[in-house]
Amino acid sequence: MAAGAIVLIVAGVYARRAMREARTRRSQPATVPATVQQQSEETSFSKVEGDRTIFTVRSSHATQFKDQNKYLLKDVWITIYGQEGNRNDNIHARECGYDPGSGDVRCEGDVQIDVSGANPASGNPGEQAIHITTRNLTFNRESGEASTTEPVAFRFPQGTGHAVGMTYNTQKAFVLLHSAVELDMAPSERTSSLPVTATGSSLEIRRDDHLVVLSGPALVRQANRELSAEKITIELDAEFHAQHALANGHPVVRSTEPGGPVTMSADQFEAHLDSVGWIQRILGEGNVQGTRKTAAGMDHFSGARVELAMGPRNQIEKMTASGAVKLDSGQGSDLKTLTTESLRVAFGPGKQPNHPRVESAETLAPGTIVLKTGGDTTEIRAKKFVAQFGDAGRIEKLFGHSGAEFRRQIAGGAPQTGTAAELACVFSANGQWDTVDETGNVRFQQTDRQASAARAHIVRATDTINLDGSPVLFDSVSRTTASAFSIDQKSGEIGGTGRVASTYQPAAQGSAVNLGAGPAHVSADQFTGSSSSGHVVYTGHARLWQGDSVLDAEEIEIWRDEKKMKATGKVVAIFPQASSQFAKLPSGPSKPSSGKPSLPSSEAPSGPTLWDIHAPVLTYWSDTGKAHLEGGVTANSQQGSLDSRTLDVFLASGPPAAGLPAASGAPTATSQGPSGGRQLDRALALGGVVVRQGDRRGTSEQAEYTAADGKFVLSGGNPTLTDAASDTTTGHSLTFFVANDTILIDSQEGLRTLTKHRVEK
């Protein structure tokens, strides 16, 4: 027991001594390794220029090594205040190496960077802070530049991103992301609740300059829209909100819209934003090109400059284009083209959200529109165009103001040109024009044919032109007016209604209308004709007059190429007679009638002689000057009258030579008569002929009248001549003269001359 007690006492003494020594060792400083020169707590150093601290580097623990004269810093904070002292950016790492010789602080582990952040100790990061995480960062004390070649991740109030490599210049206050930059911006009201992604080869953030630069190939994508460019520059306001954006270096905008994919390019695109981030306007400068591919073809736009005015929620409201503006729509044989120096387009809400539609468009300078449909090409020029579009975004109406000119070419036909003060064109659902209405001094021309009117209505489906408002049709040979005209452009058929009046010029007297001297005039209720065949029909109280010749009928037809004219229905023809040089009495045996004394001959008539002829039908050939009347004819003049089934009237250019009887056949062409132009030279009546002259009445199957010697020759069917005294003369043929009472009797026994003289009681 005693021995055990001694052992316990000795053990206790040793134990207490060991505990005392352990406490002593713990209270003594740690042993410094042989390679360490110095260790310290809460080390810091700063760069100061003048009275301004540019940045401060601080750590919770620093170890200085003997051989390398380098430091190992733990829990490192680098706070950048900037040249103006307006920043509080922080770089934080757990452990960094510091080389006083080169001034490099190298952090090989994870690094966090807060750009424009508040003091981390406050725990309230700034609203505009960019938070960056990376590895292997080097910060240089002299240049104040931090850089790494490692992957970089960052986040900002609007989204996140990543890249490879970074340079952060604390003096110039910019962050440069070296390569493989990609940003993902969260959906917001300003992005129409759609996310936005951006990629590029590098990204610069110049905080003091309020500038962000994404270098290319740069690409910004939002849903079905994207912008690509070599460089995209964004200017920020004082609150670091986007204020102005510029895309240059072959920028291209691509979008997939309901109507088809859309592409637009320019030398540069520029966007202006308001203080809350809404886009106010977009500018495209230099060689602006736009295309849209649709089921109907390709739409193409080009111009020197385009400006888009934006409304609430980034919806386009108006587009203004200038500088050699050209718009093509469709393709191949179905194409619409607009060219002008300035164009303005207004937009409205579309059927789908975020897809506005075109409501109207107008040129701000003179423009030209070319419409091609199959073999039909129409070119329209105006000082101002205004177009209206429907709900589907297709053009519905087009207006041309302040003077419109057009040229239309139908395949295989002569071009048509025209002018008007105002023009209105209506389009169908398939995008082709349906009708065109023109008002104010409307004029058309095709070859030598022209038309004018106050109003014109053109229908493409039927290729017709309707003219009203004092319309006039005229060409090199005629001029026609009516209340209204309808023209078939394919067939050349023309129709006119209401107070139709035509004038055929004297130069055309070798054609179908050649009855007298001077212009020929035709009036009627209605008019139909063909410019191609030259066939014209006047109906309803038709009347033609030329010189002293007049023709009335229910209908008058004219054939230009056949040089033929026909009148039907209650025909009344008035022809002047050629001047007569009355023949002398023929020599030979004579036998006075009844043995009564002779009477003095009648005096020659004074003034022009007119023949008034009535018949159901008259046909006239202008090349021979022959008029054929049929269906029961009655003819009256100062020389006498006749009735017959048919009558052929021959018109000559003047009276025949004096004293020479006209031979059968074509008329004799001599000098002009008293009224000029063509005159009745000879007439031949056939079938039941009854001739009356004074108190004489002759009957036969045929009667021929010659104006040159003023005589009637009755032949065929037992010709008979009866006078007032009921004396009857018959023969194989009877010839009596209008100017006297001489009668030539051709009988089986030979030729006799019979002269009667009257004695007053």
Q: How far is CA 759 from the centre of its chain?
A: 90
- pTM value is 0.70
Phi, then psi, of 651 in degrees rounded to 5:
-105, 135
pLDDT of residue 353: 66
Q: What percent of the chain has pLDDT over 90?
A: 37
pLDDT at 596: 33
pLDDT of residue 124: 45
Helix (H) or strand (E) holding 12: helix 2-27
Q: What is the pLDDT of residue 383?
A: 94
33-171 belongs to which CATH class? mainly beta
- C-alpha pair distances (Å), 468 with each of 181, 287, 462, 497, 735: 70, 46, 18, 10, 57
Q: What is the DSSP letter of 338?
A: E
What per-residue confidence (pLDDT) applies to 393?
A: 73
Place of tokens 């922080």: 90
Q: How far apart are CA 761 and CA 755, in angstroms?
A: 19
Q: What is the model's pLDDT at position 118?
A: 42
Determine contact, residues 167/147, Cβ cutoff 8 Å: yes
pLDDT at 555: 97
Q: 563-755 architecture in CATH?
A: Sandwich (2.60)
pLDDT at 526: 95
> What pLDDT was estimated at residue 598?
32
Whether the CA torsion 661, 665, 671, 674 is positive or negative: it is positive
Q: CA–CA separation, 110 vs 294, rounded Å?
A: 53
Q: Where are the domains of the chain?
A: 33-171, 563-755
Q: What is the pLDDT of residue 455?
A: 95
Q: Hey, which bits of 17-103 come out as E strands?
A: 36-49, 52-65, 71-80, 89-99
**What is the mean pLDDT of each successive set of 10 residues along the chain, which is 761 residues long?**
66 69 59 58 83 87 75 88 78 90 89 68 52 91 89 85 90 85 79 78 85 88 86 82 87 81 91 80 92 78 92 83 89 81 88 77 93 83 92 85 88 84 89 89 88 92 91 88 90 91 73 82 93 88 92 94 92 86 40 34 57 96 92 91 95 56 38 59 94 89 91 91 83 84 73 52 41
Same fold, 33-171 and 563-755: yes
State whether residue 7 is helix, strand or coil: helix
Do 110 and 95 meet the contact criterion of CB atoms below 8 Å apart?
no
How far apart are the C-alpha atoms of 267 and 302, rounded to whole Å?
12
Phi first, then psi, for residue 506 (nearest 5°) are -60, -30
pLDDT for 504 = 87
pLDDT in the model for residue 119: 43
